[in-house]
Amino acid sequence: MEKQKGRITLTIFLWIVVTDVLEALSQLLFKSAAEATGIHNVGIENALQFLGAAAANPDPWLAILFHIINFAIWIGILSRIDLSAAHPTGSTSFVFVPIFAVLFLHEHVSFARWVGTLLIMGGIYFVTKSTRASEET
């Protein structure tokens, strides 16, 4: 049986937040590239045109770079804590994406989505607390 990994420290939590911010920024960049194509209803008949137009934009390439950086950080995180703790804690991207979408894309986020976001934040709190509790027992 594999030894249990360490608890979620403030440093590890902040690195998880960094990966989630990178993920949220990647999503904004992908959305920006999709919008910049001018094609709003992608289907089989225009998929190649859409992909070509998106690939000509620097935004998706920057998003891919963010994913590569995210990968490197995430592997380091997983070497230190259990996946069952890291992955739910990494749900802070579900908090950052709507905030960034409102700020940078001027999207409307409904009250129900904000409530869901608060519930996710509550879940993250309990997951981080559970790693401390399991370590103490």
Q: What is the CB neighbour count within 10 angstroms for residue 56?
A: 12
Q: What is the CB neighbour count within 10 angstroms for residue 123?
A: 14
Instruction: Report angle CA 88, 83, 18 to the nearest 5 degrees.
Output: 60
Is the separation of the CB atoms in 82 and 72 below 8 Å? no
The reply to whether the predicted model has a pTM over 0.85 is no
At 10-48, the pLDDT tens digits run 899 999 999 999 999 999 999 999 999 999 899 999 999
At 69-103, the pLDDT tens digits run 999 999 999 999 988 888 888 888 888 899 999 99
Whole-angstrom distance, CA of residue 128 vs CA of residue 6: 12
pLDDT, residue 99, reads: 92
Whole-angstrom distance, CA of residue 100 vs CA of residue 79: 29
